[in-house]
Each structure stands twice: as C-alpha cells, then as structure tokens.
A and B are shown apart, each in its own frame.
Chain A
C-alpha cells in the first residue's frame, strides 16, 4: 500500500498567486481530511469529506480557501489568492469505513511558503 500521497511536498509562491495542493487517499478509504499545521495554532482540521461529499468545512479559514473531491481517489485544496499568513504545512489524511474506526492515516504533508 502506497499510503496517502500528497503533492507537491514543498511549494513556494508569491502573495496573490493561486496555490493548489493535491491528495490521493489510500485506496478503499471513504473519508478524507485536510489539516493545517502551524507553530502558533498547532494542528487544525480544515475540511472533512465522506464518500466525496464535504461534511464539515467549518474549519476553512475564509473564502480564499476551497476544497474539492471529484472522485474517491483525488482531492484538492486551493488557496486563491494566497497570503503570507497561509504559510504552513498542510496534511491530508484518510480513513476507512468501519463504523467503529476513527483511525486516520496521514500523508507526508505539503510545506507551503507564501512570500
């Protein structure tokens, strides 16, 4: 199993540019999560999909952030326009469909730097 795959691993962009982060969950997993990690705020849940449908996006900071999951094997997190305060490590995680399981599997993260 390849695990959760994220790309790119590092992204450096200028303020105002559009940034797209990509995630491929573990095959067969039907829940997908996007997190953001910063020194100041720790690990924050941004959005949670179940069966490709956004269930809870209350953690999305503002309208500049959007996330999609067009199919079970792919999700994107887009920031448009990007700002320096968006600099963080963004993680994608996936989880299987067991009713009793909350265990999430994390990708390696994308380190975003907005200058």
Chain B
C-alpha cells in the first residue's frame, strides 16, 4: 500500500528563517503527491500538488516542493517564514485502489518572533 512518512511531528523556526518540512513516500509509481495545510480550528486546504511535468511545484503563500524520485521525497520549503505560517502540514498520496488519499501524520510548524 502506498504511504507517506513525515519526519518531525513538530518544527520550530524563527520568523524570516527557512522552512523545511520533510515527506517521504513509499511507492514505485508516485503519480500524485500533495501537501495540505490546516490552520487552527479549520479544515485542510490544498497547498500544492505534483502530478506530472516540472518537479519543482509552487503553491500558495510562497511555499514550494520538489519531487525527487531518486530520494522518494517531496519536501516542502519556504525561504522566509511568516508568523501566519504557523499551522499543521500534511503530506498525502493516493491510496491504493480506493482513489482516496493517504495522509501522513502531520507536522506542526511553530514560528517564533
């Protein structure tokens, strides 16, 4: 079954610092990869997605992620963190057969002033 692993359940950065949230997937064929963001007391919102083509994907709010097949990774980055980026971030891949999504365990990002 396809799955994703998010390294680090909590990440803390200073405002203005680089944000790096890690996601590794297990599958020989990753047709689609997703990052979702969940702000406090809200539902999940799509941040960006990889389907085919360019391996560097740009999303909303200045986030981007790079699909690296050789490393089976899809890490999320942002050059300069903002206080409003504090949220929980989920990596996801399509589940086998069901066309549902399998989500990682999430990474909570804290941004220190």
Binding between chains A and B? yes
B98 touches A102 (CB 8 A): no
Instruction: Say which one of A42-50, A60-68, A76-84 lies at the interface with B.
Output: A42-50
Interface flags for A31-53 (1: CB within 8 Å of B; 0: not) read: 10100000000110100101000
Known contacts A42-B105, A102-B32; is A56 also within 8 Å of B100 by CB? yes
Chain A nearest CB: distance from B34 CB in Å?
Answer: 7
Q: Which of A82-115 contact B (CB under 8 A)?
A: 91, 93, 100, 102-109
Interface size on A, residues (CB 8 A): 21
Known contacts A43-B106, A103-B34, A103-B49; is A108 also within 8 Å of B43 by CB? yes
Known contacts A102-B32, A102-B94; is A91 also within 8 Å of B99 by CB? no
Interface flags for B1-40 (1: CB within 8 Å of A; 0: not) read: 0000000000000000000000000000000101010000
A43 touches B103 (CB 8 A): yes
Q: How far is the CA of A110 from the CA of B104 in the complex (A)?
A: 21
Q: Given A42, A100, A102, A109, which contacts B43 in the complex, CB threshold below 8 Å? A: A109
The reply to whether the CB of A12 lies closer than 8 angstroms to some CB of chain B is: no
Chain B nearest CB: distance from A26 CB in Å?
Answer: 13
The reply to whether the CB of B46 lies closer than 8 angstroms to some CB of chain A is: yes
Q: How far is the CA of A104 from the CA of B94 in the complex (A)?
A: 11
Q: How far is the CA of A55 from the CA of B97 in the complex (A)?
A: 11
Excluding A33-B100, A91-B44, A103-B46, 14 further A-B contacts by CB distance (< 8 Å) are A42-B106, A43-B90, A43-B103, A43-B106, A48-B98, A48-B100, A55-B98, A91-B43, A93-B44, A100-B51, A102-B34, A102-B99, A105-B46, A109-B43
Chain B interface (Cβ within 8 Å of chain A)? Answer: 32, 34, 36, 42-46, 49, 51, 90, 94-95, 98-101, 103, 105-106
21 CB-based A-B contacts, threshold 8 Å:
A4-B43, A31-B99, A33-B100, A42-B105, A43-B90, A43-B103, A45-B95, A48-B98, A55-B98, A56-B98, A56-B100, A91-B43, A93-B43, A102-B34, A102-B94, A102-B101, A103-B46, A103-B49, A104-B101, A106-B43, A106-B45
